[in-house]
Amino acid sequence: MADRKRIYLCLAHMSEDGAEQKFVKEAFDTNWVVPLGPNVNGFEKDLEEFVNNSLTPNPSPKGEGNLNKRVVALSAGTAAVHLGLLACGVKPGDEVIVQSFTFCASTHPVTYLGATPVLVDSEPDTWNIDPELMEEAIKDRKAKTGKYPAAIVPVALYGMPYKADRIMEIANKYGIPVVEDAAEGFGSRYKGQVLGTFGKYGVLSFNGNKMITTSGGGALITEDEDHWREIMMYATQYRESYPYYQHEKIGYNYRMSNICAGIGRGQMTVVNDHLAHHKHVQKMYEELLADVPGVHVHSQPSLTPDPSPKGEGSEYQVPTYDSNYWLCTISIDESVKVKGQENAYKTIVTGAVGGAAGVIHAAESAHTDCEPNANVEAMRVALDKAQIEARPVWKPMHKQPCYKNVPAYVNGVSEALFKVGMCLPAGPYVTDEDVKYIVETIKSAII
């Protein structure tokens, strides 16, 4: 077992024909080694074509059914969240509603702007922001502070679509702009429409472990040409058109490098293969884990599609939920006994999750006040020993020490999921044989 190749959660996977290297070589050959250039423009165009390709039965006057969103390529998904919020007018003293069950890149940029995140818990079926609880939070913030939150950030956790139409309906009712965090949900669709295109802004990430990668990078989907221009100004230090540097506003150095964008252009040639493979791996987990008592694969709600407004049937039938299954997740009932669970958390873990370049703080205790159940930790250790990388699901932001003083609207869903949830490897490097091996390892770890 020791010489078995390790199976990772989600590894970057380049195209077979080396398209990425071709675009990068072109950048070197033409000396476009800067944060702008033909690859950046080309990547943005590819992204625009991809996100605007809507399958909704919603034809434009020209009958195409497509959208007209513009995309700005940036140095990180976190930068995209930051600029999206900034462009919504979020300022010091404001509050921003954010899904609590997420990675910290959804909430931290709120604090960069001197604003306060208001954390809202999840619904059990999608694990994403509970729209009804969100509305309660909106009303309660208005009652308590005299003003409405300045923006709303729903998150497509592990790629699963949030209830985009209900969220937009509530947001519009109170006139609050939505910044969709679709960093994990690139290519996921809700009622046929790509996530990130419902709100005023949509966030994508191309970090090394995401659906596609530029090594590191992100993008902001914007409503139209005007918003696109404004974001572009903010991403390039808000430089006005003069022969010298003239700044009307404070900007940022957030534009994507032409080298990274070259990788992105190559990745766009395989994005549909990646999507298909993630969905295939999910289906295998669903089938192979179906008969394991107490272990549940998290799957998208299967709702009957809305009937076409034209009543024409199948050609307009699109599923309500279409997750990219960026990571596949399971939950393990507390009653499931896993070998070695009596020894869980006995030793202090010496590496930060995801590895911050080897730089860590030594933990003082193996425990925190909110942690996955012992059987989940024992399962993680068993998989790790078998050369399989697994990870607890993200710890909700309202349980993070850095957010202990921010308002939170909680229903217990995300905290309960954090105790039983686990992410399993997905992505193009995970073979059918790997999935079978992972499932066998899970089964043999259960007593």
Ligand X SMILES: *Cc1c(COP(=O)(O)O)cnc(C)c1O
- Chain positions contacting ligand X, by CB under 6 A: 76-78, 81, 102-103, 105-106, 155, 181, 183-184, 205, 207, 218
Give 359's Cβ-side CA count (13 Å radius). Answer: 2
Which C-beta is closer to ligand X: that of 397 or that of 438?
397
Smallest distance, ligand X to C-beta of residue 335, A: 31
Pick the closer one to ligand X by CB: 254 or 316.
254
Strands (E), 155-266: 179-181, 189-190, 193-194, 201-205, 218-222
Name the minimum Å distance from CB 288 to ligand X. Answer: 26
| DSSP letter for each residue of 398-428 | GGSGGGTTS-EE--SHHHHHHHHEEEE--ST
Minimum separation from the CB atom of position 142 to ligand X (A): 27
Q: How many CA atoms lie within 13 A of 25 on its CB side?
A: 5
Nearer CB in complex with ligand X: 221/439: 221
Kindly report the backbone phi and psi dihedral angles of residue 335, in degrees, each rounded to the nearest multiple of 5, phi listed first.
-75, -15
Decide whether 207 or 441 has the Cβ nearer to ligand X: 207
Query: Is 418 within 8 Å of 395 (Cβ atoms)?
Result: yes
Span between the terminal Cα atoms of the chain, in Å: 21
Smallest separation, CB 190 to ligand X (Å): 16
CB nearer ligand X, residue 79 or residue 382? 79
Least Å distance between CB 218 and ligand X? 4
Q: Closest distance between ligand X and the C-beta of residue 161, in Å?
A: 14
In the complex with ligand X, which residue's Cβ is closer, 57 or 217? 217
- The distance of closest approach from Cβ of residue 416 to ligand X in the complex, given in angstroms and rounded to an integer, is 20
- Per-residue b or e along 324-334, where b marks 16 or more CB atoms closer than 10 Å to that residue's CB: bbbbbbbbbee
Nearer to ligand X among residue 102 and residue 257 (C-beta): 102
Q: What residue is closest to ligand X based on CB? A: 77
Written as six digits, the tokens of 180 are: 């969709």
CB 7 within 8 A of CB 389: yes
Distance CA 422, CA 113 (A): 32
